[in-house]
Amino acid sequence: MTIDKLPSRMQLLVALVAWFIIWWGLQCFVIFQIFNNLNFAFIDASISLALILIGISFIFFIQKYSPAYINNYGSRFICIGALIGGIVFSEKLILNELYYSSDFAEMFNKTLVIRIVVAFLQITFFSMILWSLYFIRSQEEKNKLNLDAENTLRQAELIKIRQQLQPHFLFNSLNSINALVVSEPQQARKMIQNLSDFLRGTLKKDENKNVPFSEEINLLKLYLEIERVRFGHRLTVNFNINDDTLNTKLPPLLLQPIVENAVKFGLYNVLENVEISVRAKLQNNLLVIAITNPFDEDASQTRKGEGFGLSLIQKRLQLTYHRTDLLTIERKNKIFTTIIIIPQA
């Protein structure tokens, strides 16, 4: 038979309380047997239990807040030893305060072994349980992280495939070429060249290898030039790239979907002319890239695609640089700005 359900919090709490009551009762019984004083036995067992609980919470907090400190046998047993010593010593001090008599030390020594055994069993038992729980939890977290990473990779893969195909863009470009062949054959030829260079640029990239920013900029320029042939009457493009950024490196095709979004949203959300700008500068060894497009504040509701695309880029940056603050967006004065920061090694 397999267990398909964990005990509930309530059940665990009841078991825990019962556990401590039984230990308390046991200790009461033993002390009573030795001293034949029920009052003393109750007080003694209660003090002992309270001290043990403090010891357990002590281990709990170390386990929670600095697990690295305690997660090896050596330091764990030193810790347990110290706690047992502390507990028994404190018991002696407190009881001495409460029940002082000339033969107290002798009396206490009679029960010393029992006290040490009780403290040892309790503290060790809970220490081990907390350690196991910690181990299970961290394992789960690791699994989840792995799963997340895997999913993101898969999604990125998907995006990459979509990126490479871009059927819509491709067919519309071919349609433009179709029109240009008769009216402006030279322009048609140039368009074919641009389209081929662009496609080649997007195809050969290895996802995991950073590329020079200058290469990415060239690719963006190719892309925007093609779009300008299609929408030249409405689309203007503005590059403002500082020279010191050209040799910086970034993940390949990271900016492409952002610029594509900017063009799409610019063109399809406003009726007027659309200016797309790409600015880049180097700042404290960070490559800062800002891409802007106009948008209509009234009519623009974020479409599903946009949010999805941006969150994927966010994830990709997070996976590569382990930071979540590298992508920001801004909507101001009918201008939508996407800002990307790429740390340089």
Partner 1 sequence: MIKVILIDDEPLARQIVKEYLATFKQIEIVAECGDGFEAVKAIQQHNPALIFLDIQMPKINGFETLELIEKKPAVIFTTAFDEYALKAFEQNAIDYLLKPFNQERFEKAINKFLDSPLEKGVRGIEGNESNQQIEQLESVSKKHTEEAHRVVVKNGTSILILPTTQIVYFEAYDDYVKIFNNETFYLKKKTMSYYEDVLDPTQFVRVHRSFILNLNYLTKIENLDKNNSQALLKNGVKIPLSRTGYSKLKETLNL
- Identify which of residues 88 and 229 has a Cβ nearer to partner 1 in the complex: 229
The residue from 5, 9, 168, 322 that contacts partner 1 (CB under 8 A) is 168
Nearest to 251 by CA among 316, 198, 201: 316
Report the C-alpha gap between 219 and 241 in whole angstroms.
14
At position 243, the amino acid (one-letter code) is D
Residue pair 193/171 in contact by the 8 Å Cβ criterion? no
Binding mask 214-233 for partner 1 (x = CB under 8 A): ---------------xxxxx
Does 178 interact with partner 1 (rule: CB under 8 A)? yes
* Positions of E strands within the chain: 211-212, 235-241, 249-250, 274-283, 286-294, 327-332, 335-343
Subset of 277-336 contacting partner 1 (CB under 8 A): 296, 298-299, 301, 303-305
Stretch of residues binding partner 1 (CB under 8 A), selected from 39-47, 118-126, 150-158, 269-277? 269-277
Does 177 interact with partner 1 (rule: CB under 8 A)? yes
- Identify which of residues 46 and 175 has a Cβ nearer to partner 1 in the complex: 175
Least distance (Å) between residue 269 CB and partner 1: 7
The label of the residue with tokens 């190719």 reads 222
Does 192 interact with partner 1 (rule: CB under 8 A)? no
Residue pair 230/173 in contact by the 8 Å Cβ criterion? yes
Does 174 interact with partner 1 (rule: CB under 8 A)? yes
CA–CA–CA angle 223, 249, 235 (5° rounding): 20
By residue count, the chain amounts to 345
Q: What are phi and psi of 57, to 5 degrees?
A: -65, -30
Least distance (Å) between residue 199 CB and partner 1: 16
Does 88 interact with partner 1 (rule: CB under 8 A)? no
Stretch of residues binding partner 1 (CB under 8 A), selected from 144-152, 252-260, 264-272, 331-339? 264-272
Least distance (Å) between residue 63 CB and partner 1: 41
Does 59 interact with partner 1 (rule: CB under 8 A)? no
Residue pair 295/256 in contact by the 8 Å Cβ criterion? no
Name, in order, each residue with C-beta under 8 angstroms of 106's C-beta and a sequence gap of 6 or more: none
Least distance (Å) between residue 202 CB and partner 1: 18
Report the C-alpha gap between 328 and 222 in whole angstroms.
25
Least distance (Å) between residue 197 CB and partner 1: 20
List of residues contacting partner 1 (CB under 8 A): 167-168, 171-172, 174-180, 182-183, 229-234, 267-271, 296, 298-299, 301, 303-305
